[in-house]
Amino acid sequence: MQQSHQQHGEHRSAHLAHQFDTLDQQYQSGKLGIWLFLVTEILLFAGLFCVYAVYRANHPDIFIYAHRFLNKNLGALNTAVLIFSSFTMAWAVRAAQLGKKRALVNLLAITLLCAFIFLGVKYVEYQNKWKEGLLWGTHYHPIEEAAPSGEAAPADSAEAHYTGPPNVQVFFGIYFLMTGLHALHIIAGMAIIGWVLVKARRGAFSPSYFYPVDYAGLYWHLVDLIWIFLFPLLYLIR
């Protein structure tokens, strides 16, 4: 339909930028741009995954000791929340493609709500680490109760109860760096989804112009994808 307009020299879609011939060409160009951006994101996180791999390969004992301080249940809960939000986002793209405005608005709102829940759980986790003194570098001062169960803690001096391997603070440095950068991406994703939600409420999208929803979805799925790897690497160590 769009093409026949072009061929007969009729009016162009208001969404079609002058440098493109068709909406589809514009859509595909934008999509390639998003994929290239996602590649830079993958390579950004690759640096952190590399740090993780090197440190774990050379000091497996630190990871086995320290991962027990992380709450598996909260990690699993957040994984479920993020996967569900990815599902509602994919569903939202479908609704946008089919021109179902009500469904699109609701699904985007649910996705945004899931992002809030994810950050809320993350906040609880970070707060617990803070209270237990399980932080990076020189801020690592584990309190007694923080010791994993099954390890007796003599209370003679501040350091006496410490039974773990040296340099455990590096694990928490890696933990905060990886989950922190991921959380920043969640916050950025919330801003993007929020913007798309506002536009969707105003009825800006139609089956011939749903690209922003699709692009936001691709980004959101990548954030989910990275978490899918972070969760077993940080929480599920044996």
Q: Which stretch binds other proteins (CB under 8 A): 16-24, 122-130, 151-159, 194-202?
A: 16-24
Q: Provide the mask over 193-232, with x wherever binding to other proteins is found by CB under 8 A and - wherever it is not.
A: -------------xxxx-------xx--xx-xx--xx-xx
Number of residues counted as binding other proteins (CB under 8 A): 58
CA dist 41 and 49 (Å) reads: 12
Q: Which stretch binds other proteins (CB under 8 A): 48-56, 111-119, 183-191, 197-205?
A: 48-56
Dihedral, CA of residue 83, residue 88, residue 92 and residue 98, to nearest 10: 110
Contacts 24+ apart (CB under 8 A), 102-111: 104/200, 104/205, 104/213, 105/197, 105/200, 105/201, 108/193, 108/196, 108/197, 108/200, 108/213, 109/197, 110/85, 111/85, 111/193, 111/220
Q: Does 86 bind other proteins (CB under 8 A)?
A: yes
Q: Does 106 bind other proteins (CB under 8 A)?
A: no
Query: What are the structure tokens assigned to 139, written together?
Result: 């801020």
Q: Which residue ranges make up the site for other proteins (CB under 8 A)?
A: 1-4, 22-24, 27-28, 31-32, 35-36, 38-39, 42-43, 46, 49-50, 53-54, 57-58, 72, 76, 79-80, 83-84, 86-87, 89-91, 93-94, 97-99, 206-209, 217-218, 221-222, 224-225, 228-229, 231-233, 236-238
